[in-house]
Structure 1
Amino acid sequence: MTPMTWAEIQPLLWQASIETGYMVAVSSALTAVGGLLLGVLLVLTGRGGLLATRPVNLVLGILINIGRSLPFIILLVAIIPFTRALVGTTIGTEAAIVPLTVAAIPFFARIVETAIREVDRDVIAAARAMGASRTEIVFKVLLREARPGLVAGLTITVIALIGYSAMAGTVGGGGLGDLAIRYGYQRFENTVMVATVVLLVVFVQLIQSLGDLIVRWLSRK
């Protein structure tokens, strides 16, 4: 088999990069919303929380732990019926977004819980003493004070999603992982394999640098 030329590889890399960026961007946005909601609920319903409810907190904790305990490749296959019911297919970037989001939400929810629990209890007590409502405490105290930790956690989650998106390529999820499997591995195109690895590293470095920049800016504020 004649090795592919760079002119043939370049458009494939461009398309795969766009697909990876799309999958990671959409799943990150959905994860940020879902994980933030679950993380806040864990804190509010936990011991000493504003809405302390032991049974609810216990159920949420179990569901999140189950989601975190499943390896992504197993989860990817296990929820195929759910993915098909939701988007009508199990192949392509649209389908890959479903397991990516399902896998990342529990992961980010625990990070949110940890970040919020690190908020100084005296700040919350002061807000209560000044007559702040529960909603105001959540949005103006807990989430506001936890912003650096939340952004740092979201950065870690997005980087994890980049790795997950590459694994989704093993089942036709599209993106750089799919390109690496179909051309780099199955067709023994070492140039494609190396190029996909380099691009994934670049993606990770850019996300990490941007996240660190935002965290430093929020910490100064």
Structure 2
Amino acid sequence: MNFLEEIANNPGLTEALPKEFGATLQMISISGFFTVLIGLPLGVFLIASAPGGLRPMPVTQRILSDVVVNITRSVPFAILMVSLIPLARLITGTSIGPVAASVSLSIGSIPFFARIVETSLRDVAAGKIDAALVMGSTRMQVIRKVLLPEALPGLIAGFTSTLVALVGYSAMAGIIGGGGLGRLAYNYGLQRFDTTVMVVIIVIIVAIVQLIQLAGDRAMARVDHRNAATAGAGRRRRRVPAVEVSA
């Protein structure tokens, strides 16, 4: 009961928490949207333009893969966010707040998701692609009707992992000026040595991650036709009656 009373009487939780919780959700939503909007086409282009792909462009593919994607992924997010403050100010008109932090979050997560998309599409059986091409499908039709549907479970799993990573990144962004639960934890939990605020924020972050993972797992299970086929085959085998063999 004492702990509940501390929560009810703590201004950091009763006044600041709702606002900062909304800021965290705003950062995750904006950056997650632009991660899919840009990262998905980028990952498709990386696999389609690779040697042996649907439209080989080795030089362009190597530049995007080795320079843009790999270098961006190699920079620690805290350093990347500080270095992108001028860009965030140019795009949003400010360098602080959840919208400005979403610029750095998006740029940091787009290469990560693009690489996941590339890996998921590479796992699609080459025979299905060849069959679609033999039947007269265009490159765009192969991408839309073969590659993306076949890789959809992996894409959903990859996006779920990206969102989970964005939760952690958003907490780091809050310390640098992005707001959200990270700033609340730093201002109250660390600066004021408020253990109650820190515990509550940790519980909320864990709950957000668990909800994202649960939603991602359920969505992946619904679109994974391989598991459905396996389950259907299992049911059919169970329905086959046993045959008695007489001597």
* TM-score of the aligned structures, taking structure 1 as reference length: 0.96
Structure 2 contact 7–196 (Cα < 8 Å) conserved: no
Q: Determine the structure 1 residue equivalent to 2:92.
A: 87
Q: Determine the structure 2 residue equivalent to 1:50.
A: 54
Q: Can you give the 5+ residue segments of structure 1 that lack an aligned partner in the other structure?
A: none
The amino acid that maps onto 2:59 is P
The structure having more radius of gyration, on CA atoms, is 2
By how many angstroms is 1:185 displaced?
Answer: 0.6
By how many angstroms is 1:6 displaced?
Answer: 2.4
By how many angstroms is 1:140 displaced?
Answer: 0.6
Identify the match of residue 110 of structure 1 among 115, 119, 122: 115
Identify the match of residue 137 of structure 1 among 117, 139, 142: 142
Q: Determine the structure 2 residue equivalent to 1:34.
A: 38
Q: Secondary structure at the match of 1:146?
A: helix
The amino acid that maps onto 1:12 is A
The amino acid that maps onto 1:101 is S
Structure 1 residue 168 and structure 2 residue 155: aligned? no
Structure 1 residue 120 and structure 2 residue 122: aligned? no
Q: Determine the structure 2 residue equivalent to 1:72.
A: 77
Quick one: distance in 1 between partners of 2:14 and 2:163?
A: 25
Quick one: distance in 2 between partners of 1:211 and 1:143?
A: 17
Structure 1 residue 189 and structure 2 residue 194: aligned? yes
Identify the match of residue 12 of structure 1 among 9, 16, 27: 16
Q: Secondary structure at the match of 1:122?
A: helix
The amino acid that maps onto 2:144 is F
The amino acid that maps onto 1:54 is P
The amino acid that maps onto 1:17 is F
The amino acid that maps onto 2:25 is G
Quick one: distance in 1 between partners of 2:126 and 2:153?
A: 17
Structure 2 contact 174–181 (Cα < 8 Å) conserved: yes
Quick one: distance in 1 between partners of 2:153 and 2:16?
A: 37
The two structures, once aligned, show a CA RMSD in angstroms of 1.3
* TM-score of the aligned structures, taking structure 2 as reference length: 0.86
Across the two proteins, how many residue pairs are aligned to each other? Answer: 219
Q: Deviations 1:58-97 (Å, cap 9, x if unpaired)?
A: 1111210011000000001011111111111111111110
Stretches (4+) displaced over 2 A: 4-8
Q: Deviations 1:137-195 (Å, cap 9, x if unpaired)?
A: 01111011110000000000000000000000111211100100011111111111111
Quick one: distance in 2 between partners of 1:167 and 1:5?
A: 24
Q: Determine the structure 1 residue equivalent to 2:242.
A: none
Quick one: distance in 2 between partners of 1:164 and 1:10?
A: 24
The amino acid that maps onto 1:6 is A
The amino acid that maps onto 1:24 is I
Q: Can you give the 5+ residue segments of structure 2 that lack an aligned partner in the other structure?
A: 1-5, 229-247
By how many angstroms is 1:5 displaced?
Answer: 5.3
Q: Secondary structure at the match of 2:46?
A: helix
Structure 2 contact 72–111 (Cα < 8 Å) conserved: yes
